A and B are shown apart, each in its own frame.
Chain A
C-alpha cells in the first residue's frame, strides 16, 4: 500500500484537520485555546504530508488561519468562536442556480447565464467587549455559455466566468454600548447599515472583484470588518468584566 507513512501521520492529526483533508469542510464551535491547538497542527501539515492529493485547501492558509488568529486575539479565553467552512469548491449542484436564456444579437446565436453561489466561510465570534461579530464570505460566480456562428457556418461555443467575493460583516454590540459615527465615510464599495436599539447592530457589506492573488484574501475581509469597529474606536469600548 502506497503512502502508508503519511496516511498513518494523518490519522494522528486533530479530527478537524483530518476533516479538512478528507472532506475539505468542517463546522465547529471552540474556545481560543482549542483553535490554537488546531492551528499549531495545521502548521506542520506540509512538513509531514507531501502528497498533492492530501494537501490542505489553499484558503486554509490564506483565510481561515489568519482570521482565526485575529478574532481569537479579541476574545476572552472562555469566548466561543464558531466556524462553518466549506472549501469543496463551487462545482456542486446545490450551489448552482437555474440557467437563463439571454437576449442575443448575430453572430451570437444563443447565450445561457447562470450563477454559482458558494458560501465558503461563516464565522461567529464572541468578543471580549461583549459584542458578537458575524462574518460571511461568499464566492459568487457568473457563468455564461455563448454559442456563435460565423458567416461560413462555423460554430463556436465559449464559456466566460466572472467571480466576485461578497463579504457580509455584522457586529451586535453589548447592551448600552456607545456608538459614534466615524469622522469619514467608508469607501464607496462598502455599504453600512446601523440599527439603533438597546443592542445596536452595525452591518457592513461589500462586493469585491475576486483577487488574482489568493494570498491577499484576508486583507479585504478584514478591511470590511474594520468599518464595524470604527463606530467604537480603540480604547473607547467598554470592556465586559465577568466575576
Chain B
C-alpha cells in the first residue's frame, strides 16, 4: 500500500502515513484524501509555494503553510543554515526511498504496515 508522504508537524517532523489516494500534480508525491484537498489537488507544500497557503491561524492548514517560511526566517535569525536545510532535506526525503530521511513511520499506525512499535 502506498502511503501519504506529506510532512507533518512543526518542530517535531513526521510523515502523514495515511493510505494515499492520489499523487500531487506538481511534485508527484503520494497524498491521502485529507492532504489532496488543496487547490487543484496540490499537496500542502506545493499549495503554499504557489501562494495558496492560508494567512489566518484559525485555518487548520495554516501551520503547515507557515512552517517553511518560519524555518527560513529563524535560520536567518540564528545564522544557522543547517536548521533550514535539515527541514528541507527531511521534506525532500519523502521522494527518496531508502535515504536518510525517507518515509518510515507515519502518524497513523496500521496493522498491515509491518512496522513494529517500540
Contact = CB atoms under 8 A, between A and B. Distances in A.
Interface of A: 36, 39-40, 42-43, 61, 65-66, 69-71, 73-74, 76, 127-129, 131, 182-184, 186-187, 218-219, 222-223, 225-230, 233-237, 239, 241-243
Interface in B1-42: 8-14
B109 interface: yes
A241 B56 CA distance: 32
B63 interface: yes
B76 to A, nearest CB: 10
B117 A69 contact: no
B4 to A, nearest CB: 15
B62 interface: yes
A203 to B, nearest CB: 16
B118 interface: yes
A184 B80 contact: yes
B10 A235 contact: no
B57 A66 contact: yes
Given A70-B11, A74-B9, A234-B12, 10 more contacts: A43-B56, A70-B10, A70-B66, A182-B82, A183-B82, A234-B13, A234-B87, A234-B90, A235-B100, A239-B105
B97 interface: no
Given A70-B10, A70-B63, A182 B80 contact: yes
B6 to A, nearest CB: 12
20 contacts: A43-B59, A61-B58, A66-B62, A70-B10, A73-B10, A73-B63, A128-B14, A182-B78, A184-B78, A184-B82, A187-B77, A225-B11, A226-B83, A227-B78, A233-B82, A233-B83, A239-B105, A241-B109, A241-B118, A242-B117
A121 B42 CA distance: 36
B79 interface: yes
B58 A39 contact: yes
A144 to B, nearest CB: 32
Contacts of A128: 9, 12, 14, 107
A36 B78 contact: no
A40 B58 contact: yes
Contacts of A182: 78, 80, 82-83
A74 B60 CA distance: 13
By CB atoms of chain A within 10 A, which of B64, B86, B93 has the most? B86
Q: Taking each of A61, A225, A235, which has the highest tally of chain B beta carbons within 10 Å of its own beta carbon? A: A235
Contact of B11 (A42, A61, A74, A236): A74
Interface string B62-73: 111010001001
B90 A235 contact: yes
A182 B80 CA distance: 8
Nearest to B8: A73
